[in-house]
Homo-oligomer: A and B are copies of this chain.
Amino acid sequence: MTSVRSLFANAQGSAIRELAGLAQEPDMISLAGGMPDPALLPLEAIREAYARALSSDDRALLQYGPTDGLPACKQAVSALLRDILGPQEPADWVMTSGSQQAIDLVARTLLDPGDAVVVEDHAYPAALQAFRFCEARIAGLACDEQGLLPEALREFAATRRVRAIYLVPTFGNPTGVLMGAERRLALLRAAADAQAVVIEDDPYRSLAFEDAAALPPTLHQLEREHRTGADVVYLTSFSKTVAPALRVGAVLASPTLRRAVVLAKQAADIHSGTLDQGVLAQLLGSAWLPAHLATLRTHYAAKGLALHAALQAHVGDLMTWQAPRGGMFIWGTLRNGAAGIADWKPIFRRHGVLFVPGREFSACGVDAGHLRLSFANPAIPRLAEGAARLSRVLREALAA
């Protein structure tokens, strides 16, 4: 029997990935994974784009491609994001196999074993896992309703070297928090003082329920305007706006880091799917995209508000949360402390609803007072029913 590194032998798998299996059971309502609503996956546009990409006799899209990405796709990403990032060039980008790979490659090229990474007290589990597999020390710092507190970062950095700070500042995962412009700037200044690299993970920005142009600037853009000296690495994803299946994300980084990421990617998977990148380039550059994004925003807003209203009706006495303003998540805080359940699965099965327990987002794996609810996947009538079932789950759990 093969023995593997203790780092992996002792690691836990992703609870969210496990819950994805449970979500397939009959009549289960999943408020767990951040999976797009299938009805909002643009099948027609994708079908046409593949047909077009494969319609010429040029087989370049079937061949090996450059490690840093298909030029047309880098061009499309750079042009699309000019509004929120300011001037940057296609050459500043590396295309990755989803933004998850960007997290992993940046982590692998930045983090030596023992390096400290700062995250919010509840953070995206697959980022935490990538940092753990680099043997980083992960510090989850205090947050308020705008996310990470700059004072907490300054206090931590006063006694320890911080190598990187990982943030989802726009409709964060799991909290859904939108960090304001002043908070962003204060965090950039604290990061610059700490000489820590800021990893800005930004997969949800296009899912603002209201005017996307009124959102606070990206950390990347703020840094460009204010020159605090912080080093911002910007990650984007097309899994929420086009389709997860394509596995295409992108990272904008300074030349030194970009070179390292390309070297790591040569060894990791040579390059991301050529055809998928060709299709994405078409879609990002087409007039179809703005209309599609508007549809997404309208529908996800309706779903977010439907879950919000249903929660008010069913579990308002049990937990608090902020009304969602974008993204895919509502973060619930139990009013009367903790639901000390070791294994939620039997309760989920009994009542036919799933959510992700708070501990999955905690750097130290301890939390019994929160839950993440995603409104992205189920249809609206199922969200209402899901809230009713959630009420039964929580009442059983809190009584236990």
Determine the chain B residues whose CB is within 8 A of the CB of A51 once the complex forms: 47, 50-51
Docked-complex contact B267 and A129, CB < 8 angstroms: yes
Q: Check: A154 CB closer than 8 A to any chain B CB.
A: no
Q: Closest approach, in angstroms, between the C-beta of A214 and any C-beta of chain B?
A: 30
Q: Are A243 and B2 in contact (CB under 8 A)?
A: no
In the assembly, what is the distance between CA of A18 and CA of B150, in Å? 43
> Is A13 among interface residues, defined by CB-CB distance under 8 A?
yes
- Residue pair A246, B273 in contact (C-beta under 8 Å): yes
Q: How far is the CB of A243 from chain B (nearest CB, A)?
A: 4
Does any Cβ of B come within 8 Å of A170's Cβ?
no
Q: Which of B4, B63, B255, B256 contacts A3 (CB 8 A)?
A: B256
**Does A17 reach chain B (CB closer than 8 Å)?**
yes
A306 to B273, CA, bound (A): 32
Q: Does A260 lie within 8 Å of B101, measured CB to CB?
A: no
For residue A64, CB closer than 8 A to chain B, the reply is yes
Say yes or no: A245 contacts B273, CB within 8 Å.
yes
Q: Quick one: CB contact mask for A102-128 with B, threshold 8 Å, 1 for yes?
A: 011000111110000000000000100
| A129 CA to B267 CA, complexed, in Å | 6
Is A84 interfacial (CB 8 A cutoff)? Answer: no
| Cα-based distance from A333 to B263 in the complex (angstroms) | 29
Within 8 Å of chain B (Cβ to Cβ): is A298? no
Q: B275 to A245, Cβ gap below 8 A?
A: yes
Complex Cα distance, B247 from A96, in Å, reads 12
Q: List A residues 38-83 near B (Cβ within 8 Å).
A: 38-39, 41, 43, 46-47, 50-51, 54-55, 57, 59-67
Contact partner, A38, options B47, B63, B67, B112, Cβ 8 Å:
B63
Q: Are B98 and A269 in contact (CB under 8 A)?
A: yes
- Asked whether A109 lies within 8 Å of B269 as measured between CB atoms, the reply is no
A1 CB to closest chain B CB (Å) equals: 6
- Which residues of B are found within 8 Å of A247, using beta-carbon distances? 97, 269-274
How many chain A residues sit at the interface, stated as a range, is 35 or more
Find out whether the CB atom of A126 lies under 8 angstroms from the CB atom of B266.
yes
Partner of A267, one of B133, B245, B272: B133
In the complex the two chains form, is B64's CB within 8 Å of A33's CB? yes
Question: What residue of chain B has the Cβ atom nearest to residue A254's Cβ?
Answer: B2
CB within 8 Å of B: which residues of A?
1-5, 8-9, 11, 13-14, 17, 20, 33, 35-36, 38-39, 41, 43, 46-47, 50-51, 54-55, 57, 59-67, 96-98, 100-101, 103-104, 108-112, 126, 129-130, 132-133, 197, 231, 233, 239, 243-247, 253-257, 259-260, 262-264, 266-276
Apart from A2-B256, A3-B256, A101-B269: 11 A-B pairs, beta carbons within 8 A: A1-B255, A2-B257, A8-B264, A13-B263, A38-B59, A39-B59, A64-B239, A98-B270, A100-B270, A130-B268, A247-B274
| 15 A-B contact pairs sorted by A residue (CB < 8 Å) | A8-B109, A8-B263, A20-B66, A36-B63, A38-B63, A43-B59, A46-B54, A62-B244, A100-B269, A101-B268, A101-B269, A129-B267, A132-B267, A247-B271, A276-B276
